[in-house]
Structure 1
Amino acid sequence: MRPYKACSCRDPETGRLLGKKCPDLAKRRHGKWYARYEAPKVNGKRRQPRIGPFDTETECKAALIEVLGQSGKAGREYDRKITLGEYLEKRHAWRVAEAETGDGLKRSTLATDREIIDLYLKPGLGHLKMVDQLGQDQIRELYTAIRQINRDPEGKRPSEMLRRLLEARASRDGERYSKRPVSESRIKRVHIVLNAALNDAVKVSKIIPENPAAGIFRSKGGAGRKGRAKPLLWTDERVAEWERTGKIPAKVMVWTAAQCGAFLDFAEGDRLYPLWHLAAYWGMRRGELVGLDWPDLSLERRRLHVRQSQPDDELDDVKTEDSDRIVIFDEPTGEVLRAWRKRQLEERVAWGEAWTDTGRVFTREDGQALRPESVSQHFARLVRRYASIRRHHAKGWTPEMIVNRARVSMHEVTMALAGPPLPPVRLHDLRHGSATMLLAAGVPMKVVSEVLGHASESFTSDVYAVVAEELAEDAAARIAAFVPRRNRG
């Protein structure tokens, strides 16, 4: 187990590697230092891993002492040759096996992890040995390269790591994965997967003594961003600034009650209006709406059981245990859903044998399940259509001209022109709006938390209390302005 010196020179006649027999090893800067040690047997076979190369004998001895100390720990099989990619594959296989028994992670979580391993971790760092080669510098370089994906390189050639990441995206399923820049939240998700794997490598597999990814993630601004993005209300002042500059104040924006009502009035003739209604009034997530089955909905008792979700292309369990909940809805919502049930039955009769019986509440006209992303895209089109009608009218178009030229219904034109400006929000922001309007209406925090399927009242309060108060203030101001008083200026 003593350190030895070796090089990569070859015999000029035989071509064989000289290694420890090279005559030039006596020279000061020729060759590197290595060592072998006795490792725990695997399947009864003797193992003598080699460590190195090191520039000096002192470095080699220090590394050998560390290895001997670690390999002597109970239950440890110290494999210094395993790469990060190999370990990620082993760990993912274990997690898949656990999921198949019903005790592991949800399929959607495993699919996300698989995607992150294939697109980022293996192309970027998978070739590195977990011992000696994988460190903070390499991990930071990966995050830097990810931030450069699909951004203008300004004439610079991509780094080797960025090139590998781009190749991985181009080869996934035979087409380019995405043309959009990678968001900070996505990078944080990559970090979560890597950090968890390296924690397992330290505590469970005992391959490395410490986690090189611990504490190094930083968001785009430098310091790590704490908490989640809190919603802002689309007040009159913010709407006016958006109309003037096109700038959206924050990532998460919430409509006022008047704005939300204007959208629902506008979308009442849309086929998926009942879905928008449930999202706006009862804060159901997109995947929960798409995954809702008729057996989990009672129109007579006005109850629906949120117990499954379709966040992507496959049906899965709800997001958390607290998301599994019963929602008791109001009678007007019941009327909307009964009308939808009747319409779906009519579509089933019209399609005949071509109808696909998925059992879902919300489907396409032929009965097939909706795609979550398509639902979001359809919602965004409706919001844009509302805005375009108002722009056409501002240019002098009559309602009849808008109907004929923009190919919209007279109902949509009437509602868009009668309502307030409708600034952009995401479909998921209807859930945020539902929470804030419930709170502003005086519904207890505990009830709102249960309706939304939150883990605790404190979470609901932390995210929504401020905007709910702002919404209440906005409503109070509108009421004061609505009631005329002779003796008030």
Structure 2
Amino acid sequence: MANVEDRKNGSYRLTVILGYDDKGTPIRERKTVKAKNMKEAKKMLTVFEAEILTGKFFKAEDKMTLTAFYPQWIEKHAKDTLSPDTLQNYVSILNNRILPKYGHFKLEDIKTIHVVNFVNDLKKDGQRLDGKKGKLSASSILNCYKAFNNVLSCAHRWKLIKENPAIGAKPPNGKSKKSEVYSKEELSELLNLLDNKPLFWKTLIMMAVSTGAREGEIAALEWKHLNFEKGTIRIEQAISEIKGEGVKLKGTKTGKDRTVTVPDTLLTMLKTLERLRKEEKLKVGELLEWPDHFFIFANEFGKPIRPDSIGQWWRRFTTSNQFKHIRFHDLRHTSATLLINEGVHAKVISERLGHADISTTMNIYGHVLEEADKTAATHFESFFEKKA
């Protein structure tokens, strides 16, 4: 049941009765509109009633601002759905970039053009917060967009806004420049340089190259994840350092556990390292800092290495040896690239790296696979020449 009430001066109140409560009182949904006459108002009533019946009607009872919504987003959504690293990143972006500009806006007043302008401004000079010269990278801009989109998407799901305005704003292309990797010759030189380094670091670097694991995943490896008989290691967790909270254990980036076969040389080194770690554990006894865990890469008190410490040591190592420096994370790309060039199937590589699906592998290493494919074509050329 629906009706229109003339409120004078071109205003009309639309009323739709949804039903009755247990006391017989009508449950109404109302909306005041501006119309030229009663005929136009009735047309608007028809649309209004249809929106209610199809569940598309939105009623903004609480004129909540973005700043007011922000703590609810953190407590009721972000903490449960985002990884600690991503949450920390998004919170920083919101506090430093989004809330100062749009915090006073009512959620329903944030339009697509505001998100478009936000992203466009990030592309200009002077947007870096670290004081360095130059523009923000494409990936940094994309992360800012993702943070804004995540908050607005949550508000939409909770029916605080009719639609997510960030959807209409085309996100920037977050592709970074092609990663540098080591060739087979450079990898051989790297292993020679590692010969005179502590077993701890030599094993860690070889683990990174042979498994393609991420820094946080390597730091979180425990001896229970190793199967010496099968020559495999299980990667099922990662370590993250959260500001103000310290080192925390979490799942892998994609939430996908994987078992990776490791070379015999690395297994031999791990057996030696395990013996040393067990001796250390016996010496410290009750002073162990993580008594419920036995990490492969930890100090003598069982505290796991911080992921950022790995990258810091790696830079010092390459610099002091005047060896070509690439990011520690690029050892992961080196692992994948070498396997591709050796003809290993992309699906196998995808599983080893722990990608969500093979399309991720294809997107990241498509250029390497294309080059490998061209090399494969030369084999057919040699076949044809023999036939001729």
TM beyond 0.5: yes
Determine if the alignment matches structure 1 residue 208 to structure 2 residue 161: yes
Deviation at 1:258, TM superposition (A): 1.2
CA spacing shift, 1:70–1:194, aligned 2, 3 Å: farther
Determine if the alignment matches structure 1 residue 86 to structure 2 residue 20: no
Larger-gyration structure (1/2) = 1
Aligned to 1:437: 338
Question: 1:183 aligned to 111, 133, 137, which one?
Answer: 137
Aligned to 1:258: 185
Contact preservation (8 Å) 1:347, 1:365 = yes
Question: 2:264 aligned to 331, 338, 349, which one?
Answer: 331
SS at match of 1:310: strand
| TM-superposition CA deviations, 1:220-266 (whole Å, max 9, x none) | xxxxx37x44xxxxxxxxxxxxxxxxxxxx45111101112212221
Determine if the alignment matches structure 1 residue 368 to structure 2 residue 303: yes
SS at match of 1:95: helix
Q: Distance in 2 between matches of 1:429 and 1:275?
A: 14
Question: 2:289 aligned to 356, 360, 365, which one?
Answer: 356
SS at match of 1:304: strand
Question: 1:129 aligned to 93, 106, 111, which one?
Answer: 106
Determine if the alignment matches structure 1 residue 377 to structure 2 residue 312: yes
Say what the alpha-carbon RMSD is for the aligned residues: 4.1
CA spacing shift, 1:121–1:288, aligned 2, 3 Å: same
Q: How does 1:137-176 map to 2 (within 5 A)?
A: 137-144=113-120, 146=122
Unaligned runs of 5+ in 1: 5-33, 153-165, 167-177, 220-224, 230-249, 388-421, 475-489
Aligned to 2:147: 193
Aligned to 1:73: 52
Q: How does 1:281-360 map to 2 (within 5 A)?
A: 281-312=210-241, 313-321=247-255, 323-348=256-281, 354-357=287-290, 358-360=293-295
SS at match of 2:149: helix
Letter in 2 for 1:134: I
Q: Distance in 2 between matches of 1:335 and 1:451?
A: 21
Letter in 2 for 1:278: M
Q: Distance in 2 between matches of 1:89 and 1:95?
A: 10
Deviation at 1:48, TM superposition (A): 9.8
Deviation at 1:437, TM superposition (A): 0.9
Deviation at 1:434, TM superposition (A): 0.6
Letter in 1 for 2:149: N
Q: Percent identity?
A: 26
Q: Distance in 2 between matches of 1:261 and 1:3?
A: 86
Contact preservation (8 Å) 1:201, 1:208 = yes
CA spacing shift, 1:470–1:350, aligned 2, 3 Å: farther
CA spacing shift, 1:302–1:191, aligned 2, 3 Å: same
TM-score (norm 2): 0.72
SS at match of 1:305: strand
Contact preservation (8 Å) 1:291, 1:309 = yes
Letter in 1 for 2:334: G
Q: Which moved more, 1:80-89 or 1:255-264?
A: 80-89
Aligned to 1:162: none
Contact preservation (8 Å) 1:49, 1:80 = no
Aligned to 2:386: none
Deviation at 1:36, TM superposition (A): 9.9
CA spacing shift, 1:469–1:218, aligned 2, 3 Å: closer
Letter in 2 for 1:375: I
Deviation at 1:275, TM superposition (A): 1.0
CA spacing shift, 1:201–1:345, aligned 2, 3 Å: closer
Q: Distance in 2 between matches of 1:428 and 1:256?
A: 15
CA spacing shift, 1:37–1:349, aligned 2, 3 Å: same
Deviation at 1:188, TM superposition (A): 1.1
| TM-superposition CA deviations, 1:27-85 (whole Å, max 9, x none) | xxxxxxx9999999xxx99999999xxxx999xx99xx79x949973664323622122
CA spacing shift, 1:356–1:211, aligned 2, 3 Å: closer
Determine if the alignment matches structure 1 residue 427 to structure 2 residue 328: yes
Determine if the alignment matches structure 1 residue 455 to structure 2 residue 374: no
Contact preservation (8 Å) 1:437, 1:471 = no
CA spacing shift, 1:444–1:431, aligned 2, 3 Å: same
Q: Which moved more, 1:206-215 or 1:330-339?
A: 206-215
Q: Distance in 2 between matches of 1:129 and 1:3?
A: 29
Letter in 2 for 1:130: L
Question: 1:119 aligned to 96, 117, 124, which one?
Answer: 96
Deviation at 1:363, TM superposition (A): 1.1
Q: Distance in 2 between matches of 1:339 and 1:191?
A: 47
Unaligned runs of 5+ in 2: 1-5, 18-24, 242-246, 376-388
SS at match of 1:459: helix
Deviation at 1:378, TM superposition (A): 1.1
Letter in 2 for 1:377: Q
SS at match of 1:253: coil
